[in-house]
Amino acid sequence: MWLKLGVLGVAFLAATACGVDDPADTREMGREQVTAALNDAVRLGFPGAQAVVADKGHNWTVAAGAGDLVTGEPFADDARVRIGSNTKTFVATVMLQLVAEGKVELDAPVERYLPGVVHGPGIDGNRITIRNLLQHTSGLPEYAAEFGAVPKPGQIGFMTEQVRWQTADMAAILRNALTAPADFEPGARWEYSNTNYAVAGMVIEEITGDSVGAEITHRIIEPLGLRDTYYPAPDEIDIRGPHPVGYTEIGGQRVDYTSQNVSAAGAAGAMVATGADLNRFFTALLDGKLIAPAQLAEMKSVRSIAENSAVAYGLGLMRIAMPCGTEVWGHTGGIPGSLTNVGVVPATGRAVTIALNQDFTDKERSPAGMNALSAAVCPAP
């Protein structure tokens, strides 16, 4: 099960760093609250947790628990983690760059770019737009259901032993998924579906003639110098560089799920990054360094995901109203062995990534990442 909105945090919205030379420096304000929140996550059952914070050019890291339960080693400061549905923000950014280049129209039907691909019971590619895909308003059924697990909010719930080691044929997966009926009429409501981004990835590949991973690499990763971020090769199963062990539960038992083929996650959730790189990416995006103002405005044009929800969803980008009243922009993500929550505070520029090395999804434990994000973006003296 990847983690959908990566919105694991959506439904429930809910040390080891450098010191501060100046006692009056507020760039590490909230360290105690963040540390407490990460320790709470460990008490709830997460093996380990990490917060990476960027504030006014200063980066600091806090870790709790274990990155490896066998050795007891904590998260490395530069730990790589599987970022799940935070991948979607990279994909949406590439799509909006293509819009700016005149190669894609947001309100054009997907049929224009993928003739004959998006069709099924109540599904018509002539009526589903690129905007619908990026904002989860298409009504397309969840393709993770093809693997016997329907994700809860915040999950990409496909990853079973059935596909853990297999290189996916995404075209075949989508053909099977689209034999299920549409969930609703395009635009009628908001409902998270990883299928939207699987299709969006195919659109990018059809337009550019290159893989979605290659487009993300040369359009985003390389220009920003994200040295510890990558889109895995189709047959790649291990994480490059330092990383925590990723755990999941199978049959009620905690198991090491670090190594896995994530090609079935694809454009919906395959990428790997560090917290520092995620902070840099989201900050650059919101600062207008990756897409033009018109496209950034489209990306930030949000739709509430549910009545009275603190979360609204744009085009691959979430706006979250934190309990303290602070507004953050980011995304959340998860995949077996990893949960990540990313948020940038426009008012201050503080950027935060929270990483947890197990994919709990129950109501008691799943808010832990969002609680830690809240502690970091709502710092108290």
Point out the residues that are catalytic: 85
Q: What is the DSSP letter of 40?
A: H
Q: Which residues of 60-72 are buried (b: 16+ CB within 10 A; e: fewer)?
A: bbbbbbbbbbeee
Helix, strand, coil percentages, rounded to 5, for the chain: 30, 20, 50
Cβ neighbours of residue 19 under 8 Å, at least 6 residues apart?
Answer: none
Closest to 147 (Cα-Cα) out of 130, 126, 170, 113? 170
- Beta carbons of 205 and 98 less than 8 angstroms apart: no
The two three-digit tokens of residue 100, written as one number? 């700016």
**Are 203 and 104 contacting, i.e. CB atoms less than 8 angstroms apart?**
yes
Q: Amino acid identity, residue 46?
A: F
* Spatial contact of 159 and 259, defined as CB atoms under 8 Å apart: no
Under 8 Å CB-to-CB from 327, ≥6 apart: which residues? 319, 320, 321, 345, 346, 347
67/280 Cα distance (integer angstroms): 23
Q: How far apart are CA 373 and CA 147, in angstroms?
A: 31
Two tokens at 139? 């009504």
* Cα–Cα distance, 151 to 158 (Å, whole number): 7
